[in-house]
Chains A and B, each alone.
Chain A
Amino acid sequence: MAVEIPKTGKVQLKDICYARSGDKGDKSNIGLQAIDFDEKVYELIKKKVTPKAVQAHFKGWSNGDVHIYPMDNVKALNIVLDHGLGGGMTITLRWDGTGKAMCQALLRMYIDVD
């Protein structure tokens, strides 16, 4: 089953990507992966999922820089939100202290396809 990217308009990341997330101290890490290692999806997210876009998507929860590391070999982006977990697992007020759900939260994001 090939992944389909609409020709125009917007696409929600959940329709073209998988994601898994975790923590390193107060940093949230989200591995955003093109479904089926699809090259076109990867090129699209590499272009459109920018630190600024991620920052805006998580407004209020992302209280530091956002870094995006491309991994061409596995068609994935590693996204790191500094101060993304409200202080980190041991002291945060958040229910999801280790940010395991941050990946689902990211998949709610829409990006332009053109």
Chain B
Amino acid sequence: MMWGDLIQPSVEMAEKADVHYQCYDFLAEFTMSQLYRLKQRSHFLGYPTDIVEWNKQLLPIISKKGIKLISNGGGANPEIAADAILMLAQQLKVPLKLGVVTGDDVLDTIKRLRSEGLKFPNTDTGEEDITSIEDKLMGAYAYIGADRIIEALKEGCDEVVGGRFSDNALCVGPMMYEFGWEYKEPYWNKIGAAITTGHIIECSQLCCGAMSSIWREIPEPWHPGYPIIEMNEDGTAVITKTPDTGGLVNRQTIREQLVYEILDPQNYIMPDGVADFTTLHLEDAGPNRVRITNMTGKPRPDKLKVGIVFHGGFLFDVTVHIIWPDVLEKARLCKKHFQEWLKWANMHPIEWEIQINGVDMCLGPTVSIDEIEEKYGKDIPEIGLRFATKWQTREEAEFFKKDFGRVWSIFPGSPFGQHLPTNPIRAVAFWPTLIPGSEVHPVLAIKESKL
């Protein structure tokens, strides 16, 4: 699942399905950057607080059924998240042996390694080292594998909570533990299978017909079933979902998630191993069941992916509505007037853009405004013009916000401003890089609820 997902399907799974583990991915790049920002604000913040609600609803059921909960709901602050979970378990009078995994926070390690001469190039931009952002650093976390999850399960933990476990490590851990797979030959194909299936279910119902290209065929999407992996010891698996739920699992819904958020499909590089998505075979195996065979993998990499988060300016956007007739002609003038006004008012955003809501806000350059104008001409009833801006400082962004409220009259026709523009938000930029795996030392602590 993802942070922001529905909780009911999880409860339904615990109640209705015959599962041994429920695995929850709470973190995205965006989420981590927000969590680090919160942690800077207070030592008691920085984890996705949903983890508490999740536990509240699930613990009473899973403690009876013996289902184990594995999550990265510790975010940027696993120890504080663990305290919250334990306090809750005590309130609910549920006996809980909780494995808490820390050690993914590597900012200090990076600082030390840099003083020893190591560089941390941006794997997106190729920029050689973090020198240019040194004074803006907010945090750095490594994507860690399942090692400590396996250890926690060996120690008999009922639940494991950690920081930036890779999304699929949450599934890889229980599978390696149950089948006794190890990080060596001949297990790499099986670990590849664990990573692959973990990847497919990491966005919960996104592999069960949510956001699907075949949306016309999805039954009862309003009560989606969350996905279930039935992993076999031979490294083949079936993906299905909670019985008696909406949604759909078939070759298409699995394929569309297999190709989601990946780069080179032959080398899906994860801390536990490298999965190859180009060898597997998908086969419909009954209603809402897809069998996956021939999944393969390669040894785990020497280096781990790291996300360094740093201050990236302030974002502010406001929408002005342009009303019939001649909306596109007015939109063009708005852009010109705005550009001139910025100069005249001596304002210097780092970046700015005007997007037309209803025309090209999401489709960008694949929409030709000229073509739209030719087709619909003066008859488009209304559009929103979104002014998106980025500023160096909060003061500049605030000043712009205030002045923009006064400036709507420079636009043609009778436009309507947004009634209450939102406040500028701090942009947390993301610098992806690599760190030697030998420098990252995740640690397991075991805590128990006192009843």
Contacts and interface: CB of A to CB of B under 8 A. Distances in A.
A89 B366 contact: no
Interface in B215-229: none
A53 interface: no
Interface in B406-441: 427-430, 432
Contact of B366 (A24, A72, A88, A109): A109
A104 B168 CA distance: 27
Contact of A20 (B29, B211, B266, B278): B211
Interface stretch (B17-25, B97-105, B255-263): B255-263
Contacts of B281: 73
Contact of A93 (B257, B264, B277, B389): B389
Given A25-B430, A26-B124, A108-B366, A93 B260 contact: no
B90 interface: no
Contacts of B30: 89-90, 97-98
A91 to B, nearest CB: 4
A18 B365 contact: no
Contact of A18 (B256, B261, B265): B256
B262 A29 contact: yes
A76 B259 contact: yes
Interface in A81-101: 82-83, 87-91, 93-98, 100-101
B40 interface: no
A18 B213 contact: yes
B96 to A, nearest CB: 34
Interface in B266-291: 266, 277-282
A113 interface: no
B262 A78 contact: yes
Contacts of A46: none
A101 to B, nearest CB: 4
B365 A90 contact: no
Contacts of B251: 37
A20 B257 contact: yes
A76 B260 CA distance: 11
Nearest to A33: B255
Secondary structure type dominating chain B contacts: mixed
B148 interface: no
A108 B363 contact: yes
Contact of B260 (A29, A58, A71, A91): A29
Contacts of B312: 90-91
B121 interface: no
Given A24-B261, A91-B390, A61 B255 contact: no
B362 A101 contact: yes
B385 to A, nearest CB: 12
B339 to A, nearest CB: 15
A74 to B, nearest CB: 5
Nearest to A73: B278
B204 interface: no
Contact of B259 (A59, A60, A74, A94): A74
Interface in B193-227: 211, 213-214
Nearest to B432: A25
Given A23-B261, A89-B30, A74 B315 contact: no
Given A29-B261, A31-B259, A58-B364, A95 B278 contact: no
Contact of A83 (B124, B266, B313, B365): B124
Interface string A25-65: 11101010100010000000000000000000111110000
A20 B265 contact: no
Contacts of A21: 260
Nearest to B267: A69
A90 B430 contact: yes
A16 to B, nearest CB: 12
Contacts of A100: 211
B429 A96 contact: no
15 contacts: A19-B213, A20-B257, A22-B260, A29-B260, A31-B262, A33-B252, A58-B366, A60-B364, A61-B365, A69-B266, A72-B278, A93-B351, A93-B390, A94-B355, A100-B211
Given A19-B213, A61-B365, 10 more contacts: A29-B261, A31-B260, A37-B255, A71-B278, A74-B255, A74-B277, A83-B125, A88-B429, A95-B361, A108-B367
Interface of A: 18-27, 29, 31, 33, 37, 57-61, 67, 69, 71-74, 76, 78, 80, 82-83, 87-91, 93-98, 100-101, 104-106, 108-109
